[in-house]
Structure 1
Amino acid sequence: MKLDHTARGVFPIAPTPFLPDGAVDTKSIDTMCDFYFSAGATGLTILGIMGEAPKLDADEALAISRQVIGRCEIPVIVGVSAPGFAAMRNLARAVMDAGAAGVMIAPPPSLRTDDQIVTYYHNAIEAIGGEIPFVIQDYPLTLSVIMTPAVIRRIVMDLPSCVMLKHEDWPGLEKISALRAFQREGSLRPLSILTGNGGLFLDFEMERGADGAMTGYCFPDMLADVVRLSNEGKRDEAHDLFDAHLPLIRYEQQQGVGLATRKYVLRKRGAIAHDAQRAPAGKLTETARAEIDFLLRRLAKHDPRARF
């Protein structure tokens, strides 16, 4: 089940479930995996930014990975970004031995020039091994690293184990178009492109050539439907469904409480037992919870999955 460039559909970014005391909620890991599978996910991505990976120690990260991989019937991508290559190598090799499909690597915020970015990925793959399929995480809004289409092309063409781009630039529609143009002209080999940013631009990203979504929006089943409808050429239906969810997608985009919002709704949907995060973390006020409930009631008029 190794990842390759043909990957399509929805690979939700999964949260890490915690108990109110901050311990990992192992029971909710199983219910969460089952929830994503039933929602139409074609794969799952864990230990990303949404997964609060920096708040986990090495043993916890590996234990969570093994449990998710053992529970899921779909490919699992594991985020292995780390300050040093030794930790990245150890986690990457351990999760691949456990049955992961591939790993995701984000660039450190210190990178500034094109050559620095390309060199970093060369060094990372030398460390983990060229036999491990990997995903480039392009998220300049959080990571502050600007990757141009030309830089992404250099990485992909230099490193055969690069099979996917997690595209989270904003605005980023033109970047997708540029990369697909490189492929048409023959200067870029085939590459899976899954998009993030909470799904905020998924409707048009699909039309620009994305293969699907890799994001943590609390209705992954909606993301799966939009991807399917777009692939079927049902443009108006895809946009109508997307537009119904847009107010909640927008609410999730708030810095500081986005993950709290997602976990709150995922708890209400039965995916996890608690909406707890590890400190430091943003928290929802009672007013914020009431606003989310209001958005869910309005959404339920158009999508019955929002009725709890």
Structure 2
Amino acid sequence: MRLDHTAAGVFPIAPTAFHADGRIDEASTDRLIEAYLAAGSTGVTVLGIMGEAPKLEPEESLGIATRFIKGMKNLPVIVGVSAPGFAAMRSLARASMDRGAAGVMIAPVPSLRTDDQITGYYRQAIEAIGDDIPFVIQDYPLTLSVQMTPKVIRQIVQDHPSCVMLKHEDWPGLEKITALRGFQAEGAMREISILTGNGGLFLDFEMERGADGAMTGYAFPEMLVDVVRFQKEGKRDAAHDLFDAHLPLLRYEQQQGVGLAVRKYTLMKRGILASDAQRKPGAGLSAKAKAEVDYLLARLARTDRRALAA
């Protein structure tokens, strides 16, 4: 299955499951896959920023990608291949596609500042991996410090037919979605899929601005699936009501520095991960922070019974 511009729904960003000693936890990886399938995900993305990709050996990265490709039952798997150099990017991209990946995701390196540098980087990246591989632009200025304007994104899309999706993570970014959909309506940019990130923090209104779904790692992917479905069915109030019930936990999980620790702890509480371990270096949660997450989960369970298991 090859990724194309019609991709929609929810592609959870998968964390990498580790044992407490830092080894890859394959059993927890399999439970993650089962949880994503049960939630109604339409695909999955592995080896993203929250997947701790830079901490993995090359063979570990390919092993994780391969396990998800085999486990997702023919649903599309996007593999994050961002790397400081193009040789490593090409190697993982080609190997992942050979094993059945649907496409790859490429983030800009943080040193890029001008529009020409950004478009030049993507031109070189596609020359490296090959223009036969469908790719996703990751636009995440909060973490990567690279500012992509709608016009720059349009140029990348127009210059590279293999660009089929934008992972939109600007903040605030609602107007960017509107601008890009406006380009499409005018015929100034071909159609692409837009999936949104930022932990899902603005998903309620991003869907109304023209997003096709979400690509993020919030610990309750079922909520993301339901919000996307409600919005597509025109059930605006139902979408916002469900989103609002999860918002306190969503906000807590979005903290810089400890967000991944919160997410992994919640997934452990849900019985999906055996451990909330991160591979070093990584910031853990204090006992006080864990108690706060427990409180938020208990409050959420009053509205959404799927939180009871946590």
Distance 1:189 1:241 in 2: 33
Aligned match of 2:197: 196
Report the equivalent of 2:167.
166
Question: Structure 2: which amino acid aligns with 1:58?
Answer: P
Matched, 1:260 2:234: no
Runs of 5+ in structure 1 lacking a partner? none
**Which residue is 2:78 aligned to?**
77
What is aligned with 2:7? 7
Q: Aligned equivalents of 2:64 and 2:284: distance in 1?
A: 24
Amino acid at match of 1:48: G
In structure 2, what residue type is equivalent to 1:30?
Answer: D
Matched with 1:59 is: 59
| Residues 246-280 of structure 1 deviation map (CA, whole Å, 9 limit, x = unaligned) | 00000011111100100011111122211110111
Q: Which residue of 2 aligns with 1:180?
A: 181
CA distance in structure 2 between the partners assigned to 1:236 and 1:70 by the alignment? 37
Give ranges in structure 2 of 5+ residues lacking alignment.
none
The offset of 1:28, in angstroms, is 1.2
RMSD over aligned CA atoms reads 0.6
62-71 vs 41-50, which deviates more?
62-71
1:144 maps to what in 2? 145
Q: Which residue of 2 aligns with 1:219?
A: 220
Q: TM-score, normalised by structure 1?
A: 0.99
Quick one: which amino acid aligns to residue 176 of structure 1? I
DSSP-derived class of the 1:50 partner: helix
| d(CA) in 2 for partners of 1:217, 1:193 | 18
Q: Which amino acid in 1 is paired with 2:142? A: L
Q: 1:228: which partner in 2?
A: 229
How far is 1:175 from its partner? 0.0
SS at match of 2:147: coil
1:26 aligns with 2:26: yes
Paired AA for residue 61 in structure 1: S
Structure 1 SS opposite 2:51? coil
User: How far off is 1:31 after superposition?
Assistant: 1.1
Report how far residue 67 of structure 1 moved.
Answer: 1.1
Identity %: 72
Tell me the TM-score normalised to structure 2 length.
0.99
- 1: distance between equivalents of 2:249 and 2:43? 23
Q: Secondary structure at the match of 2:217?
A: coil
Paired positions, count: 308
Post-superposition offset of 1:232: 0.5
Q: CA deviation at 1:26?
A: 1.1
Amino acid at match of 1:46: V
Runs of 4+ in 1 over 6 A off after TM superposition: none
Deviates more, 1:200-209 or 1:274-283: 274-283
Give deviations 1:51-85, integer Å, cap 9, x for gaps: 00000011110111111111112110000000000
**Counterparts of 1:20 and 1:298, CA distance in 2:** 29
SS at match of 2:285: coil
Match of 1:47 in 2: 47
SS of the residue 1:164 aligns to: strand
